Structure formats: structure tokens, C-alpha cells
Amino acid sequence: MGPIIGMTPEKRAETPGAEKVAGLSQIYKMGSLPEAVDAAKPKATLMDSGESADDELTNLNWLHESTNLLTNFSFGSEGLPVVSPLYDIEGDDVPSLGPSCYQNPEKKSATSKPPYSFSLLIYMAIEHSPNKCLPVKEIYSWILDRFPYFATAPTGWKNSVRHNLSLNKCFQKVERSHGKVNGKGSLWCVDPEYKPNLMQALKKQPFPSALTSPESGSLSPHYLSSVLKQNQVQTLKGMCKISILNHKNSDKKLGLKIGFLFIKQLCLLWKNWKIKTLTKKKPKPFILLLTFYIIALVLFMLYT
DNA sequence: GCTCGAATAAACAATT
DNA sequence: TAATTGTTTATTCGAG
Ligand SMILES: [Mg+2]
């Protein structure tokens, strides 16, 4: 998709605009916004993962049919956020989730850089605020709360946040109301015109939520695409290794099943337009991966 | 090697 | 006055 910073509405994703958020146009008519409430600290709730029809094509539950299946086979999930914000921003009917649901500070992710651009971090912060508007200071706080990385990150990230707010057309500055004692600066909102872009960008993040992690459920095509691109060699090796190990353990059926399901999964994904879109620029990795695996499978079957 | 988007740094003005 | 906020320009970096 197009750039987040400076993106034009024409370039935005075709996400059907179901937004019910008060549009900036309305806000501007009002002239000002009510004072932003303190950074959202609603109760943390777990969302139902609610599989869509699309998941049928992307579901990798079969990978968990055997508990020892993945032991020799890494998906390279280092530094992944424990929970993706995607699933609690998506859909306006969904109430905001609690502050601690994004990253587990005890995990390695606390010290690794979050896999989100500043635009997306800001977007998430604003979307989780009660009024969908935050002063810059509370944007800092939200980011700090969810991503402890920034507590020890090199100074400058706040500068980057302000830079992004200012430069990025997705974010609009709105004057505070004159009622109470105002804080410094303005409130920042997401321009609804650009919200689909941000939502799309968030969906395209190749990092799955805990609800859809390899341990617990289906994967998004974006994530799978990313994983396959990043780990195709390891994946291939892992698959072959598992197949052979299971074969040697006299579990030939499982070994073959893994192979066939893997191919089936790839074919389904290939048929899916999403994966075509994702790979039309560089289809080679998928073709090569598929070819390699078919060869490996044939050799494996010959060996048996 | 080129382009583009994002990150980063920094200068500077305005505001509180 | 100092700190914060907001704007702008320049540079670097990585992916495609
Ligand atoms: Mg802006």
C-alpha cells in the first residue's frame, strides 16, 4: 500500500468505510474538542478470535496435530509482540482493551524494538483513547506503557513521534476546549479520511497476535507470507526433518500427512488473491519453496 | 544502482 | 527562563 506519511486518500485501501468515529469534519464544526480524558486505562479483556471465512485458507492448525511437530522447527518468532493491537482496534464496536495487553514486559520484546512504525504506534494510541484524541504527552505515555522498549530506547523517539504527527497527513491537530485548565499543546486525532490506510497498514503487519500465533491458531496471510519469505530454508528443512523423523519413528502416516498438508496449504494460499497480491512482485520464493518441497517429498517417497 | 518510505537528528519558533 | 510542543529540513537506512 501507499506510504502512511503523506499518503493521499486516493491511494488508500479499499477498506469499506464502516467508521462510526466522529469525523474530523464534525469536530471542526464544533470548533474544539472536550479535554481529553486521561490515557485510556480500561479493563483488559480477551477478544474472541472469531475466525472469518478467510481463515479457512490460512489456518495452520494442522501444524499442531502432533505436539512434537514443531519441536525441531522454528518459525523465527523472536521479538514478536505477545498480542497484536490489530484485534482490538479493528471494528469500532469493540471497546478498548487494557493497557497491558500489547506486550509482556517480561518477554524479550520489552527490549526489542516494536514491529510497528511510529505512524501505527500513534494510531493505536489515539484509537485507544476514549475521545479518539490525545495530546502528544499522552501519546508518549501510551507508547511507553505498551512498549517498554522506549523506556530505555535512545532519546529521540519522542522527537520522531512529534515529527510524525506533524508531517503525517493522517494525524490532525485540534485545538483544545477553553473550559478547563489546559495542558500544553493541542490534541491529535486521526483524520477519518485516512483511517482505512492506517487500518490496512496495521493489518499488513506481519506479526500475529497471541490469538493467532503459531501456538494457538490461524495465521494471517501476511504473517505467513513474511514467515515463508524469511524462513523458507528453515521451514523446508524443518518440514523435511519432521517428516523423516516421523518416518523413522514408524509414524509414516504423519510424515506424509505433514507433507501433503503443507503442499495443500501452499496451494490454497496460492489460490487466495491475497497471497497473489503479496507475491506478485516476487513470486520466486514461493515457487522455489514449493518446487523444493515437491522434490523432497518425491525423494522421500522413493526412499520409503 | 536507484527509488521510496521510514527513522533519526537537528535547528528553530511558539507556547506554557 | 526552562521545558514542552510543533514545524521543517537534512541525512541515513533498509527493502524492493
Ligand atoms: Mg499531521
Res A23: pLDDT: 36
- Other C-beta atoms closer than 10 Å to the C-beta of A219 total 22
Q: Where on strand C do bases come within 7 A of a protein Cβ? A: 4-9, 16
User: Whole-number Å distance, CA A149 to C1' C10?
Assistant: 27
Q: CB of residue A2 closer than 7 A to nucleic acid strand B?
A: yes
pLDDT digits (tens, 9 = 90+) for A5-26: 765 544 433 333 333 333 343 4
Nucleotide C13 C1' to residue A207 CA (A): 22
pLDDT of residue A276: 39
Of the pLDDT bands very low, low, confident and very high (cuts 50, 70, 90), residue A204 is: confident
H or E, element range at A28: helix A24-30
Please tell me whether residue A75 adopts helix, strand or coil conformation: coil
Strands A133-135 and A171-174: unpaired
pLDDT tens per residue across span A260-275? 555 555 555 454 444 4
Beginning with the edge strand found earlier in the chain, give each strand of the sheet holding A187-190 in spatial order. Answer: A133-135, A187-190, A171-174
The residues with which A174 forms a beta bridge, in sequence order, are A187
Task: State in Å: Cα A16 to ligand 1 middle.
Answer: 23
Distance A27 CA to B16 C1' (A): 25
| Residue A261, pLDDT score | 57
Smallest Cα–Cα separation from A99: which of A120, A55, A136, A130? A130
Please spell the DSSP secondary structure of A118-173, one letter per residue: HHHHHHHHHHTSTTSEEEHHHHHHHHHHH-THHHHSPTTHHHHHHHHHHH-TTEEE
A177 residue type, one letter: S
Tell me the nt nearest to A114, Cα to C1'.
Answer: B7
Q: What does the DSSP 8-state code read for residue A35?
A: P
The dihedral built from the CA positions of residue A100, A106, A108 and A110, taken in this order, carries a sign that is positive
Task: Specify the CATH class of A118-204 in words.
Answer: mainly alpha
